């Protein structure tokens, strides 16, 4: 439902056909925006996740953990929207696979969430990608220090690109599964991956570059 709120803003479903409707439409958008934030707050209050703080360098960041304490760990990386209901839903399902996993979502945006495409784009454009890789490394090490003998990384879209980057830049990672994301050559070359990588791309995805399977190399 919360994910649907984001899609309403980004899909063009709220459009203004006549100038006289502008004020009414703006009022509706503001009300819906507030409704979305209320839904997100309700979801967070009822969440099965444990919120932890992880230290790296001279800063700390929040992360959300779910699963058995001694289970293998998986760092789950957000899309460009941020840590929203959808990514938490993915992490919860991942924690229930097979005999169980311990899933951890690092908050790469430090509490910010995009409600529309423009805002999500702005948040992603402002992301310190090298810093995000350090967040991933700290998350992997946190899991290994808290009962997980092996830790993998998975991510979607922006998170997929960072997951692949972690296979190159984070030696503690044991395996990576990425969904439609390729890191920039300046960040990491997938050819230099030090961990096994399984990457998934859509054959009909026309987004050249970021979601282009050719960008992942051989």
Provide the residue range defining the domain that includes 122. 48-216
175 strand-pairing partners = 152
Looking at the fold, whether 58 and 32 belong to one and the same domain comes out as no
Looking at the fold, whether 103 and 197 belong to one and the same domain comes out as yes
Q: Pick the residue with more confidence: 206 or 56?
A: 56
CA nearest neighbour of 139 among 65, 70, 195: 65
What pTM value is reported for the model? 0.77
What's the pLDDT band for 152 if we cut at 50, 70, 90?
very high
Model confidence pLDDT, tens digit, residues 109-123? 999 999 999 999 999
Model confidence pLDDT, tens digit, residues 36-82? 555 555 555 456 899 999 999 889 999 999 999 899 999 999 999 99
Q: What is the pLDDT of residue 5?
A: 43
Work out the average pLDDT over 121-145.
97
Domain of 82, CATH number, reads 3.40.50.1820
Tokens 């430090």 belong to: 110
Looking at the fold, whether 52 and 42 belong to one and the same domain comes out as no
Count how many domains the chain has.
Answer: 2
Looking at the fold, whether 11 and 101 belong to one and the same domain comes out as no
Looking at the fold, whether 122 and 92 belong to one and the same domain comes out as yes
Q: What is the pLDDT of residue 33?
A: 53
Q: What is the 3-state secondary structure (H, E, C) of 27-90?
A: HHHHHHHHHHHHHHHHHHHCCCCEEEEEEECCEEEEEEEECCCCCCEEEEECCCCCCCHHHHHH
What's the pLDDT band for 2 if we cut at 50, 70, 90?
very low
Looking at the fold, whether 137 and 203 belong to one and the same domain comes out as yes
Q: Pick the residue with more confidence: 5 or 175?
A: 175
Looking at the fold, whether 56 and 151 belong to one and the same domain comes out as yes
**Secondary structure E strands in the chain:** 50-56, 59-66, 73-77, 102-106, 151-156, 175-179, 197-200
Model confidence pLDDT, tens digit, residues 70-83? 999 999 999 999 99
Residue 203 DSSP SS3? coil
């Amino acid at each position: 439902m919360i994910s649907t709120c984001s899609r309403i803003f980004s899909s063009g479903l709220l459009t203004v056909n006549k100038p006289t409707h502008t004020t009414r439409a703006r009022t509706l958008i503001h009300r819906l925006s507030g409704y979305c934030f209320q839904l997100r707050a309700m979801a967070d209050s009822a969440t099965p996740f444990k919120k932890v703080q992880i230290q790296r360098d001279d800063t700390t960041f929040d992360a959300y953990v779910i699963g058995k304490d001694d289970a293998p760990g998986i760092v789950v990386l957000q899309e460009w929207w941020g840590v929203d209901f959808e990514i938490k839903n993915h992490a919860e399902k991942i924690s229930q696979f097979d005999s169980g996993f311990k899933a951890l979502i690092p908050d790469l945006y430090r509490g910010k969430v995009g409600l529309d495409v423009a805002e999500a784009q702005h948040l992603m454009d402002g992301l310190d990608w090298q810093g995000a890789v350090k967040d991933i490394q700290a998350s992997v090490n946190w899991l290994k220090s808290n009962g997980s003998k092996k830790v993998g990384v998975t991510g979607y879209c922006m998170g997929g690109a960072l997951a692949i980057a972690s296979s190159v830049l984070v030696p503690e990672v044991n395996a990576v599964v990425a969904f439609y994301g390729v890191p920039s050559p300046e960040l990491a070359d997938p050819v230099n991956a030090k961990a096994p990588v399984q990457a998934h791309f859509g054959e009909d995805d026309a987004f050249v570059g970021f979601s282009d399977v050719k960008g992942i190399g051989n």
